[in-house]
Amino acid sequence: MFSLIKKDLLIQKSYFLYGIMAAFIAIISFQNLKETMVLAVTFILTYVFIQYACYCDDRNNAHLLLNSLPVSRKHVVLSRYISLFVFFLISLGYYAILTGIIKIFAIPLECGSLSLEGNVRALTMVLFVNSIVLPVFYRFGYSKSRIVNLILFVGIFSAFGALESTGGGFAGFFKGKMLSSYFSLILALFVYALSFVVSVKVYSNKEF
């Protein structure tokens, strides 16, 4: 199973090089978000990385190889679900490196500080969104699920914009004013686990 996680990293290792550039552009784009910048940047990078992994599988018909290996379909799905956490950590690393460089060279950009609570909120959002994305991918494949991904991505961008124009309610949720960030993470992990069960059932019954 860990070989499958390694595969998710290796197939897009050159793509990771663009991550630094994407993170820098995101930091510039989300200057007005301030404390929610970490959430925005890490979410976008993680989302892009997991989508690219799914795209590579679909483009290269990876299921033909995977189904010929002595690996259960459950483990194939599990490796992708675990890969999400690896991508999230890489995204946090990119953000930390860039904010460090910005401070060292006194680049006139505002950067939200990394914090445990901020990281928890970012991971919570990543888990909730991908709990929808991954089952759809395993049911319909990357090409057919793109419309769902587009709707989610546009919706998330709209949400980030709403953070600046809303003083409470929706904005309060992401800033930890409505619900405990840690309770939200526990709920997100539960939903993510249910999503995994659904994906395993869908992928196990799928005929190629």
Domain ranges of the chain: 2-204
Give the pLDDT score at 157: 64
Q: What's the pLDDT score for residue 30?
A: 79
pLDDT digits (tens, 9 = 90+) for 101-149: 888 888 888 888 888 888 888 899 899 999 999 999 999 988 888 888 8
Could you give the count of Cα atoms lying within 13 Å of 113 in the half-sphere of its Cβ?
Answer: 3
Extract long-range pairs of 182-190: CB within 8 Å, 24+ residues apart. 182/120, 184/120, 184/121, 184/124, 185/120, 185/123, 185/124, 185/127, 187/124, 188/123, 188/124, 188/125, 188/127, 188/128, 188/131, 189/127
Averaged pLDDT score across all residues of the chain? 83
How does residue 165 score in pLDDT terms, banded at 50, 70 and 90? low
Which single residue is written with the structure tokens 């445990």? 116
pLDDT at 23 over 70: yes
